[in-house]
A and B are shown apart, each in its own frame.
Chain A
């Protein structure tokens, strides 16, 4: 062999070693069963990466690895998906719906994934659903909020394993009504895009149904990532509302709290942050006692105590020295839903085909770290879960949640075949 051939040999083996080392969290598996390949799509860059995308990716890694190692408590003790190892392929959700549709086709047609779990942005979910249907690929939305997906459409291959956003706003209204029986004035500050507008519209409609005499002093809709809220805070203060509803998240939530707190807004009014849980630890010093906090379902600090939940928190904390937040819970919930459906139809060790998994997932009831999940609405494709809200209280310098109230799924989400907006108007009755 000539020296250059040697060089090439060495170089190529070094390269292949490096590539193998850099491969995504691929779990070890018995050589016999072919892996079940899952495309996982969350924000890995941009503003939504820190609070949502990365905690979700972390959860996917922790859960997939533990499943492959057979370390998850019952009923998920079987390794992988019915013995088949799970392989994850991560894709960044940044770039908008057009980019995401291309990425989705790439996952399905080039990478040949067996299923896709993903999507935090409602815009991405709305764009992906028809494409998933066209390509006939099992797709689980784990986080996006808009009720429109299964209220305006009907899909066979598309599922959402977390409740939609109506739960967050209706449960918020129920909680406020309960803890502030003499409430007269409310106000809102929400971001001017789908999530903020839907959140406020549902909350306002629910409040008006529950307490028809309540007045809205102002509804502020600053631009997403506006960052400066001086005038909005003045407008909120001058109306002296008792409760301020906000579905702000991440940087905007931080900035709003940092600017409103020194101006004494939270001394005059109680703030309600429907997605506040992702920020409650880093803002612990600024969030005053009495602030109402939600986690978009019974996630994070609201998760009911169970062996599965204790395992999940410990496993996540061991690896990342952080506690899992609601996007982490929702990611775990999607993976475990897929596993439940897979193992339900697996007969005698043979791998079930996609059609049977889809049929099994329709209407399925299963356990997640956040309690029981029922694929009850959207023709069995949309999950329902109980809701929870609580109030912030500092105990010994640490922020804790007290006065937690839980609402069963049928009190915060519409039944099968009813649209959220109609349901809020028709079924919520004034309280005395």
Chain B
């Protein structure tokens, strides 16, 4: 019983972490049809910015609780600076081209950003571990979980719910839906598609950066940290269906629970379990759980 509970808690925490990262990836694909290979680098940028900002904050001796604000501020800054720079400076020249070309473009971007990170921060590792333990722990049976992990779950839930409401209940969400369904007709109806793209990409970048910023206190921030994340995020997004935020949430929960169950019961197959689920889902629903098969447009 205690193990089942542990599987659930560990699974949900892991799923929340995955969802924050995958939500931005799937949203960008859904609206812009760009499979953003550089998403992991944006996550890494968030982590570096958070480590620098929160690290400076703590080193100056300011109140430790303020470091949480620094983590969030870092993610917002990365989103607002890097998102528009990439969208306006690079991506807008590639719209309308084949999706494969865009994969190559964003892969190039990924390589550039990886080197940029090394230019700015060097190759040594950065630590900002204080926020992880600062809020204390909750004991559940024989296990002990940091409150920080609970906060991560809340952030993921808020992000998911926020995105859902924004898309379904706001005017902007309606415009977004229109652009998702038909870019050209939307433009013909007077929707500023470029603006929608700019906002979407900035928001997606911000979500990746939030993921990185909230991960920073639990790891040492090192070059290459974005590479691992992108593979997992793809698995999540593909299971849920590319472009669907709800799908990303379900995909994250499935991956989180499956991984956590295998770690607890059968650690030998941990690596394989996630991809087994992915293969099974794709065998029965090739477009993912949340995307219905659609007729090809001519």
Contacts and interface: CB of A to CB of B under 8 A. Distances in A.
Interface of A: 45-47, 49-50, 54, 192, 218-223, 225-228, 230-232, 234-235, 237-238, 240, 250-251, 254-255, 258-259, 261-264, 282, 286
Contact of B144 (A226, A228, A237): A237
A264 B224 CA distance: 29
B218 A258 contact: yes
Contacts of B129: 258, 286
Interface in B1-31: 2-3, 6-7, 9-11, 13-14, 17
A230 B125 contact: no
Nearest to A54: B123
Given A50-B124, A231-B260, A263-B146, 5 more contacts: A46-B224, A54-B123, A221-B267, A231-B264, A263-B137
25 contacts: A45-B123, A47-B223, A50-B124, A50-B222, A219-B267, A221-B267, A222-B271, A223-B271, A225-B225, A231-B6, A234-B6, A234-B9, A234-B263, A235-B6, A237-B143, A238-B3, A250-B222, A251-B220, A251-B225, A254-B220, A255-B219, A259-B132, A263-B143, A282-B125, A282-B220
A228 B270 contact: no
B228 interface: yes
B190 interface: no
A254 to B, nearest CB: 4
B219 A49 contact: no
Contacts of A223: 228, 270-271
Contacts of A259: 132, 218-219
A127 B83 CA distance: 43
A218 B146 CA distance: 22
Given A228-B14, A251-B225, A258 B127 contact: yes
Contacts of B145: 263
A218 B267 contact: yes
- Smallest CB-CB A-B distances: 7 pairs: A254-B220, A262-B133, A231-B10, A231-B263, A255-B219, A231-B260, A251-B222
B225 A230 contact: no
A240 B2 CA distance: 14
B36 interface: no
Contacts of B17: 228
- Quick one: which of B149, B217, B222 has the most chain A CB within 10 A? B222
Contacts of B137: 262-264
B59 to A, nearest CB: 14
A234 B218 contact: no
B2 A238 contact: yes
Contacts of A250: 125, 220, 222
B39 interface: no
A232 B261 CA distance: 10
Interface string B61-73: 0000000000000
B2 A254 contact: no
A47 B132 CA distance: 24
